[in-house]
Amino acid sequence: MKVRLKVKRHDPEAHGGQASRYSDYTIDVPEHITILDALLEVRDYHDGSLAFRYSCRSAICGSCGMRVDGRGRLTCKTKVTDLVKTEGQEILVEPMGNMPVIKDLVTDMEMYWSKMDQVTPWLQPADPGPERENLVSHEAMLDLAQTMGCIHCGVCVSDCPVLEIDKSFIAPAALAKAHRFVDDPRDAKTKERLEELSAVKGGIWDCTRCNMCVEVCPKDVRPMDRIMQLRELAVKAGVASGTGARHGEAFVDSVQRLGRLDEMRLLPASVGLWNAPRLLSEMPGALRMLRAGKLPWNHALPWRKPIAGIKHVRRLFDRARREKKEASS
Ligand code: SF4
Ligand code: SF4
Ligand code: FES
């Protein structure tokens, strides 16, 4: 079949504003090939200057992550026919996002690894440890096995929208790794880890739950679910703190009281009334929301009423609390 590839090129040594451009290639390849195979065909027979990273070609080493047709993918696991529905349809191949590009499709993973370092990615067992083995039950390890399947491809980090605006966010892969140690029964620093992950700028409360990392992860690690588990564990351990944790509480309180989101109170409740400098710094954004009709001013009136079906909402809250109690008893 004929495949058209539009590949983003980046030459760090180019001068005169030509550092980035696109190259088009049309290749004739068998239907079963992957995007990585197609790139190898280009490099071997059409353009030897094209740079990209790969190794195992079996979805194990994690080195062939790229952005294909606008989303992060492991290129050795993505078949051309997954994307091309009609012969001659173009496929756009770009380097992963949120990371600097070294050349063409090769990204600099330094930021990825420094975030991994930030979560102390090793076991910190009790001292003294066991005399012989540190035995753990099969059940206790089951939940961890999914997170341990991470191959560090960086695809989730590439497509995380929070990282686009806040480089301090620890990001999905490292937070999933943090969960792996927080939930490990052999680790003795659970509370300290949760305290740190909750209080640090860019920690567990900064995820917007967009689900993108879950959708793109080629190994079903489901990083967002791990972050939500960390939040739950932080609340249980009584160490949930900071703006993000207060934001979550204000959200729940608002829906329970009124049956809807009380945007006017969300900001002061999240930031804290005592934090005047932060509140003032958020004012331009709040004014923009007001102008766009996203902060209905009448919601701030003291006599605002709950929605008509509030009793159903409160019933849901009661049920959730009951189920949680039953599950923990
Ligand atoms: S769910 Fe959270 S961590 Fe995952 S991509 Fe969205 S914002 Fe990032
Ligand atoms: S969590 Fe998934 S997408 Fe993210 S680095 Fe690990 S394997 Fe790749
Ligand atoms: S080449 Fe190893 S994961 Fe794709």
The domain locations on the chain are 2-107, 110-240, 243-328
Mean residue pLDDT of the chain comes to 90
Cα-only R_g, the chain? 24
Q: Is the pLDDT of residue 300 over 70?
A: no
At 34, list the tokens. Answer: 């992957």
Portion of the chain with pLDDT greater than 90, in percent: 61
Q: What is the C-alpha separation between 156 and 158, in angstroms, rounded? A: 5
Compute, in angstroms, the gap from residue 312 CA to the centroid of ligand 3: 50
What average pLDDT score do residues 28-32 get? 91
Q: Which of 227, 115, 230, 108 is nearest to 163 (CA)?
A: 115
DSSP-assigned letters across all residues of 40-81: HHHHHHT-TT-----S-SSSSS---EEEETTEEEETTT-BHH
Ligand 1 atom, smallest distance to 163 CA? 8
User: Does the CB atom of residue 224 touch ligand 2 within 6 A?
Assistant: no
What average pLDDT score do residues 18-45 get? 93
User: Does the CB atom of residue 178 touch ligand 1 within 6 A?
Assistant: no
User: Does the CB atom of residue 154 touch ligand 2 within 6 A?
Assistant: yes
Ligand index nearest the alpha carbon of residue 151: 2
SS (H, E, C) 130-197: CCCCCCCCHHHHHHHHHHHCCCCCCHHHHCCHHHHHCCCCCCHHHHHHHHHHHCCCCCCCHHHHHHHH
Ligand 2 atom, smallest distance to 112 CA? 5
- Return the CATH fold of 2-107: Ubiquitin-like (UB roll) (3.10.20)
Q: What is the pLDDT of residues 235-276, one digit of tens each?
A: 889 888 777 788 888 888 889 888 888 877 788 888 877 788
Ligand 1 atom, smallest distance to 171 CA? 3
Pairing of strands 90-94, 2-10: parallel
pLDDT at 262: 80
At 318, list the tokens. Answer: 């009661």
Q: Is the pLDDT of residue 163 over 80?
A: yes
Q: Are 143 and 183 in contact (CB under 8 A)?
A: yes
Q: Is the pLDDT of residue 323 over 80?
A: yes
- Which top CATH class is 110-240? mainly alpha
Q: What is the C-alpha separation between 50 and 189, in angstroms, rounded? A: 46
User: Does the CB atom of residue 56 touch ligand 1 within 6 A?
Assistant: no
Q: Best substitution site from 164, 179, 212, 228 to test ligand 1's pocket, by max atoms within 8 Å of Cβ? A: 212
CA nearest ligand 2 atom 3, residue: 217
Ligand index nearest the alpha carbon of residue 204: 1
Q: What is the C-alpha separation between 26 and 153, in angstroms, rounded? A: 27
CA nearest ligand 1 atom 6, residue: 210
User: Does the CB atom of residue 224 touch ligand 1 within 6 A?
Assistant: yes
User: Does the CB atom of residue 240 touch ligand 2 within 6 A?
Assistant: no
Q: Global pTM?
A: 0.85
- Residue 327, classed as helix, strand or coil, is helix
Q: Is the pLDDT of residue 302 over 70?
A: no
What average pLDDT score do residues 221-243 get? 91
Identify the residues whose C-beta falls under 6 Å from ligand 3.
Answer: 54-57, 59-64, 74, 76
Helices (H), 188-309: 190-199, 212-216, 223-236, 242-258, 263-271, 276-291
User: Does the CB atom of residue 160 touch ligand 1 within 6 A?
Assistant: yes
